[in-house]
Amino acid sequence: MTPKRALITGITGQDGMYLAELLLAKGYDVHGLVHGEHNPQADLVRRVIPGVRLLTGDLTDLPSLMRALTVSEPHEVYNLGAISFVQFSWENPLITTEVTAVGVLNLLEAIRMHCEGDVRRIRFFQASTSEMFGRVQESPQRETTYLAPRSPYGVAKVFGHQMTVNYRQKHGMHASSGILFNHESPRRGPEFVTRKVTRGVARIHLGLQDSLHLGNLDARRDWGFAGDYVHAMWLMLQQDEPDDYVVATGVSHSIRDLLDVAFARIGVHDWTPYVVEDAEFARTPEKNVLVGDATRAREVLGWEPTIDFAGLVNLMVDHDVAEQQGSAHEPPEGRGRPDPGA
Ligand code: GDD
């Protein structure tokens, strides 16, 4: 049997890498879109997941997307590419909109044109986000919860989400959207709070750093494991009918909870001497509790998270201790500015 083929945008991010591994294990031919000529993250993907074929392209460049579709002839397209750091989007709202919002439209149009009237030939997944709920109107949040984004990133994601819904309804595309709550792993960029904490804790443990500067310690999120979330993405595209699904654990934790678990892993039960609340990292206003209701994903897809919050944080601390000692297998570092093309 001919293997299924998939095209992943955002292949250099944590989700792209986990998804590529999942699809390769299922026997897919996997193509990934990478932005820029000398993208250091592309070398990491080549090294860690040698089975992936990388193509250059950019979500803001429609001809490059058309070319990627022609070369890869995918059965499934996963759009994980975005500028995804919320704070960055406040400083760079236009480029965030071009990549994270208009980029989705470019890809949908590229697929529509490529399929020439047979739009069901390619199944499409859009990575939507809990940030679309912003000023939350109900808790927990579900697929029908009103969208009230509170950042340029959230606004851009709402555009991509609604465009996906519209292309499904108007053009009959098999286009699904996963409303993904925060999902983390040892591959998470160090600018995000979980990795910042686990990496900082590892460095404190090894005497390489003496304090950790954080923003609002009372902020709460619904954190899951990225490897579980890419499994939900794949399940969505295996359904006969496309739909939208919240992907979440249903449990909310504060940054203080995160600190409790991470420091306990290195045997520290009072972290207060190490943590500095720093206005530089505080976001305002931020009073909302993001927590997702993944009933639909559970009932329709049969999806369940496999790693709980403590398991996830411990996994990340252990990885970061090994990495800081120079013994980890895969350095997920060197991300710097979020990668707009991939
Ligand atoms: N990054 C960061 N750094 N966040 C901090 C810090 C800090 O020093 N201190 C407190 N926080 C709080 C933030 O204010 C926020 O409430 C929470 O930690 C999580 O922040 P991030 O880890 O940066 O993630 P995010 O929730 O803004 O967004 C992530 O998850 C979304 C939902 O899946 C990103 O991955 C988004 O792209 C994604 O859509």
pLDDT tens digits, 18-57: 999 999 999 999 999 999 878 889 999 999 999 999 999 9
Cα 193 to middle of ligand 1, angstroms? 6
Ligand 1 center from residue 52 Cα (angstroms): 29
Q: What is the pLDDT of residue 240?
A: 98
Cα-to-chain-centroid distance, residue 188: 9
Contact 189, 335 (CB under 8 A): yes
Distance CA 31, CA 341 (A): 14
Among protein residues, the one with the nearest Cα to ligand 1's atom 4 is: 193
Instruction: Check pocket membership of 182 for ligand 1, CB cut-off 6 A.
Output: yes
Question: For the chain, which residues make up each domain, given as ranges?
Answer: 5-183+223-247, 184-222+251-327
Q: Which of 182, 254, 275 to probe ligand 1 with, by most ligand atoms within 8 A of CB? A: 182
- What is the number of the ligand 1 atom nearest to the C-alpha of 290? 26
Q: What is the pLDDT of residue 287?
A: 63
Percentages of the chain per state (helix, strand, coil), in multiples of 5? 45, 15, 40
With H, G, I as helix, E, B as strand and everything else as coil, classify residue 289.
Answer: strand
pLDDT value of position 37: 77
Pairwise CA distance, residues 81 & 35, whole Å: 10
pLDDT of residue 334: 36
| DSSP-assigned letters across all residues of 160-213 | HHHHHHHHHHHH--EEEEEEEPPEE-TTS-TTSHHHHHHHHHHHHHTTS-S-EE
- The pLDDT assigned to 338 comes to 37
b/e string for 60-72 if b means 16 or more Cβ within 10 A?
bbbebbbebbeeb
- With contact defined as beta carbons under 8 Å apart, do 129 and 152 qualify? no
Question: Residue 71 and residue 266: Cα distance in Å, rounded?
Answer: 48
pLDDT of residue 339: 37
Residue nearest to atom 33 of ligand 1 (CA): 182
CATH code of the domain occupying 5-183+223-247? 3.40.50.720
Whole-prediction pTM: 0.95
Residue nearest to atom 9 of ligand 1 (CA): 215
For ligand 1, atom 20, name the residue with the nearest CA: 193
Instruction: Report yes or no: 187 and 11 within 8 Å, Cβ to Cβ.
Output: no
Atom of ligand 1 lying closest to residue 216 CA: 10
Structure tokens at 170: 């108007």
Q: Give the catalytic positions in this structure.
A: 129, 131, 153
Instruction: Determine the Cα–Cα distance for residues 241 and 121; give it in Å rounded to an integer.
Output: 13
8 lines ligand 1 (CB under 6 A): no
User: What's the pLDDT at 289?
Assistant: 84
Residue nearest to atom 31 of ligand 1 (CA): 182
* pLDDT (tens digit per residue) in 163-211: 999 999 999 999 999 999 999 999 999 999 999 999 999 999 999 999 9
Query: Which residue numbers in the chain have pLDDT < 70?
Result: 285-287, 328-342
227-230: long-range contacts (C-beta < 8 A, 24 or more apart)?
227/18, 227/22, 227/185, 227/306, 227/307, 228/183, 228/303, 228/305, 228/306, 228/307, 229/15, 229/178, 229/180, 229/183, 230/15, 230/18, 230/19, 230/22
Distance 329 CA to ligand 1 centre (A): 26
User: What pLDDT shows up at residue 329?
Assistant: 58
What's the confidence (pLDDT) of residue 1?
A: 77
Q: Is 97 in the pocket of ligand 1 (CB under 6 A)?
A: no
pLDDT at position 62: 98
Fold of 184-222+251-327: UDP-galactose 4-epimerase; domain 1 (3.90.25)
Nearest ligand 1 atom to the CA of 154 is 39
